[in-house]
Structure 1
Amino acid sequence: MFVNLRRIRKCQYVQLMTTCLVLSVVMICWEQLDSSIVSHVKSYSYRYLLVNQFTYINKSLTIPREQARRFSNFHYLLNHPDKCADQDILLLLFVKTSPQNIERRNAIRSTWGNETYIHDALGVTVKVVFALGSIETKKEEPTWSKRSGVGFQEYLIHEDRLHSDLIQQDFLDSFHNLTLKLILQFHWMHNYCAHARFLMTADDDVFVHMPNLVSYLQDLSRRGVEDFWIGRVHRGAPPIRNKSSKYYVSFEMYKWLSYPDYTAGAGYVVSSDVADKIYHASLTLNASLYIDDVFMGLCANAVGVSPQEHVYFSGEGKAPYHQCIYNQMMTSHGHVEDIHDLWKAATNPRVKRYASGPFGKLYCTAVKLALLCRPYYFNTYPCKAAFL
Structure 2
Amino acid sequence: MDIVSAQPQPLTLVRKTWALEAKGHRVVFFSAVPQNERLFDLLRREAAEYQDVVILPNIHESYFNITHQTLEMCRMAAMDPAVTHLLKVDDDSYVHMTKLIARLRALPREKIERVGFGVWVAGGTPHRDPANRWHVPVEEWPWETYPAWAHGAGYIITKDLVNEIAAGAAMKIQNHTLFRLEDISMGAWVEYVSKEKGWYVQLVKDKRFNFNGCLGTDLVSHYIQAQQMRCMYENSGKCCINGKVVQPKVLARKGIT
TM-score bracket, shorter-length normalisation: 0.7 to 0.9
- What's the CA shift for 1:175? 1.2
CA contact (8 A) 2:119 2:209 kept: yes
Q: Percent sequence identity over matched residues?
A: 21
For 2:221, give the aligned amino acid: S
Does the CA-based 8 Å contact 1:95-1:131 persist in structure 2?
A: yes
Q: 1:179 to 1:277 in 2, by over 3 A?
A: same
1:118 to 2, 22, 38: 22
Determine the C-alpha separation between the residues in 2 that align with 1:313 and 1:285: 27
- Does residue 109 in structure 1 map to residue 25 in structure 2? no
Q: Counterpart in 1 of 2:2?
A: 93
Correspondence for 1:79 = none
Amino acid of the structure 1 residue aligned with 2:22: I
**Alignment correspondent of 1:207:** 94
**Preserved CA contact (<8 Å) 2:128 2:137:** yes
TM-score, normalised via structure 1 length: 0.55
Offset of 1:172 from its aligned partner? 1.2
- Structure 2: runs of 5+ lacking an equivalent: 195-200, 245-257
Task: Tell me the equivalent position of 1:256.
Answer: 143
**How far 1:247 moved relative to its partner?**
2.2
Q: Is the 8 A contact 1:128 1:165 kept in 2?
A: yes
- CA separation of 1:311 and 1:113: change in aligned 2, threshold 3 A: same
| CA gap 1:222/1:291 in 2 versus in 1, 3 angstroms | same
Supply the AA of the counterpart residue of 1:273: D
* AA at the equivalent of 1:250: P
Among residues 215, 219, 232, which one is paired with 1:330 in the alignment?
219
Structure 1 CA distance for aligned equivalents of residues 104 and 186 of structure 2: 21
1:11-53 deviation line (CA, Å, top 9, x unaligned):
xxxxxxxxxxxxxxxxxxxxxxxxxxxxxxxxxxxxxxxxxxx
Does structure 2 conserve the Cα–Cα contact (< 8 Å) formed by 1:195 and 1:272?
no
Matches for 1:203-242 after TM superposition, within 5 Å: 203-220=90-107, 225-242=112-129
Relative to the length of structure 2, the TM-score reads 0.81
Distance of 2:236 and 2:225 partners within structure 1: 15
User: SS at the partner of 1:345?
Assistant: helix
Q: Are 2:89 and 1:180 equivalent residues in the alignment?
A: no
Matches within 5 A, 1:266-285: 266-280=153-167, 281-285=169-173
Helix, strand or coil: the match of 2:145? coil
Does residue 310 of the first structure (1) align with residue 199 of the second (2)?
A: no
1:322-361 equivalence runs, <5 A:
325-326=215-216, 328-337=217-226, 338-346=228-236
Amino acid at match of 1:298: A
Aligned AA (1:313)? F
Local SS of the residue matching 1:318: coil
Q: What's the CA shift string for 1:190-227, capped at 9, x where partnerless?
A: 12x14311110001111111110111223349777111
1:212-252: CA deviations, max 9, x gaps? 01112233497771111111111121112233444221111
Q: Check whether the contact 1:300–1:306 (CA below 8 A) recurs between aligned residues.
A: no
Deviation at 1:293, TM superposition (A): 0.8
* Structure 2 contact 94–221 (Cα < 8 Å) conserved: yes
Query: Would you say the 8 A contact 2:47–2:54 is kept in 1?
Result: no
- The structure whose residues are more often strand, as a share, is 2
> Are positions 1:129 and 2:28 aligned together?
yes
Report 1:157-176 matches (<5 A): 157-170=44-57, 171-176=59-64
Kindly provide the amino acid, as one letter, of the partner of residue 187 in structure 1: R
Structure 1 unaligned residues grouped into runs of 5+: 1-91, 120-124, 146-151, 320-324, 349-367, 373-388
Distance 1:94 1:371, change over 3 A: closer
On the 8 A contact 2:93/2:220 being kept in 1, the answer is yes
SS at match of 1:297: helix
| SS at 1:275 equivalent | helix
Q: AA paired with 1:307?
A: L
Query: Alignment partner of 2:210: what SS?
Result: coil
RMSD: 2.4
Structure whose CA Rg is larger: 1
